[in-house]
Amino acid sequence: MKGRLTLELAVGTFMVVGLLCLGYLSIKLGKVEVWGKPGYEVFAVFSDVGGLKNGSSVVVAGVDVGLVKSISLEDYEARVVLQINPGLLIHEDAIVSVKTRGLIGEKFIQVSAGAADGIIKSGGRIRQTESAVDIEALISKYAFGDL
């Protein structure tokens, strides 16, 4: 009886540890934030985000420094909220652009560093934006001789 109880306890412990590991991997690989990500939020307004999605990367000099937290429509323009890692300061004259990885790759936000003395505080707005380039429109203009 004692050997059977020990075996059941070992199997139960193994199952609990396995389920905890599965839950941890699901959260990490799914990029789900359970307790929220540290950092601060800023926003920018674009005329066109061209397929940008929540969770897309925010990049400075090729390094991921945050993510797109939300995208909403405000006065017929796209309001994009960016979650920026703590320790990174964005200058008031920084430029944010919607870029594409490759020809038809995923969209991301690129922040070009500024040199102004002022820093954008949490909840602040990045004023200088560049919307996504519409590749299809460029190809059709080229194909039909409008360029």
More confident residue, 66 or 142: 66
Mean pLDDT of the chain: 82
d(CA 111, CA 90): 9
pLDDT at res. 124: 83
DSSP state of 116: -
For the chain, the domains span 1-32, 40-141
* Residue (of 128, 125, 98) closest to 113 by Cα position: 128
Cβ-based burial of 92 (10 A; exposed 0-12, middle 13-18, buried ≥19): middle
Cβ-based burial of 51 (10 A; exposed 0-12, middle 13-18, buried ≥19): exposed
Digit-coded pLDDT (tens) for 33-81: 656 667 888 898 888 888 888 888 888 888 888 888 888 898 898 899 9
Q: Tell me: pLDDT of 30 over 70.
A: no
